[in-house]
Amino acid sequence: MSSFVRTLLVFCEGPHDAAFVRMVFKRILGFQIEKLKFSEMPSPFNNLFTKAVEKHAAQDMSLDMTHKFFLPDSVLRKNDDIAFIFNCGGKTQYDKVRDLLTDYIPLIEQAAIFPAGAQEIVDSVRYLFLYDSDADGLDRIVDNISREFQKVNEKDFVVDAWIGTKSEFGRVSKDKAVFVWGGAPDKGTLEDLLMPMFDFTEANKPLIARSKQTMNEMFKWDIDHGDSKKAVAEVEKFKKAVLTTVGQRKKPGSSLNVILEQAELITDDALRACPTTAGFVEFIREFWRMAD
């Protein structure tokens, strides 16, 4: 007899956002990475991933593997809660997400009817969209999601009103949710959170200071640009350059997402000390109604 599980589909803006979310799920929420064959996944994902691979393998695909978005970057589990984390490859990849949901939703709705031999069946699915606030702000991002995902495959998807939460960085619309990264809900990026986390430990402080000095000496950063959108983007680039440089000793040549997950430069205490991260953890628990 099959048992039931709950799932959360998490759509991250880019690779280092996905890496950060994995870090929070593993180190704060107590999830573990699941390494399963497609056939071992709960229904409908056992069938869905297999069919998705077959469908995309039949297409004429380029070697850059952009088609891989139809599969999650990672799967994490805690008891009967399973999170699927996707890297969207950019903030405006709405078509890509809609295409994925068009394939997913019909099978999710029929998970219990056609389990295809799965030992577990998904009986609850929630959707979480994560973005940098940038210069857009939470309100505009919520409006964009309402417009872009009002319908999926000609069926209503995001139609309920957005409700505020305990965190000013998040909103909920029934089984859909949005959370933004930044120094404030109306401005900033994930790097605004990462910089003080790197700088939290005494061993990292001199590295951060030297990296900032070096980046300022080597390049011009137009962080005071009159256009707020360009100014926020410049600040993000500067902070990303600083953080990536700090991680080069432990992970030479690596990108920020690799450094976040493998260089061990952010401690659990640093994660917990960040108010926005703490708010995100509480937001996840409330939205997903997770049992501790």
**In which band, very low, low, confident or very high, does the pLDDT at 56 lie, cut at 50, 70 and 90?**
low
With a CB cutoff of 8 Å and minimum separation 6, the contacts of 10 are: 21, 83, 84, 85, 86, 128, 130
Ranges 41-45, 64-68, 143-147, most confident: 143-147
Specify the 3-state DSSP secondary structure of 82. Answer: strand
Interval 166-177 mean pLDDT: 97
Instruction: Give the SS3 label for residue 281.
Output: helix
Q: Identify the residue with better confidence: 59 or 129.
A: 129
CB-based contact 278:272 (threshold 8 Å): yes
Mean pLDDT (whole number) for 85-97? 90
For the whole model, what pTM was predicted? 0.92
